[in-house]
Amino acid sequence: MDQKVKNQVYVNAISRLQNWYTQFELARWFSLGESNTDSKRIARTSINRKLYPEGHPGKRGANVSDVLVAGLLDHLHDEGYDLSTLQFDATGKVIDLKKRPIKKGG
């Protein structure tokens, strides 16, 4: 996959996720649930640098893993999962993720 295509797929997925979740929530996922501020800041900086426009001196390209993770998270949200409930164990393994409640019409 061309680097520009990877970058665009990543930017699109992260941008959609940012409509629903805070930047700190995204950073928590990308740091495998780490709760300390330094880990989340490092993850957030990495995410932000990949969102810079092409030609920006701080721009970094998204790699295949970035594109995969962003795409899977975006897909899980679209499938009705509440990513704010995403929980990890001490080794970074996903241990819980809940669906969003279904709103009853009426």
Question: Poorest-confidence range of 30-34, 87-91, 100-104?
Answer: 100-104
**CA-CA distance, 69 to 71, in Å (whole number)?**
5
pLDDT value, residue 74:
97
Residue 104 has pLDDT above 80, yes or no: no
Nearest to 11 by CA among 58, 57, 74: 74
pLDDT tens digit string along 52-97?
A: 998 999 999 999 999 999 999 999 999 999 999 999 999 999 999 9
In this prediction, residues 35-50 reach a mean pLDDT of 92
0.75 exceeded by pTM: yes
pLDDT value, residue 36:
86
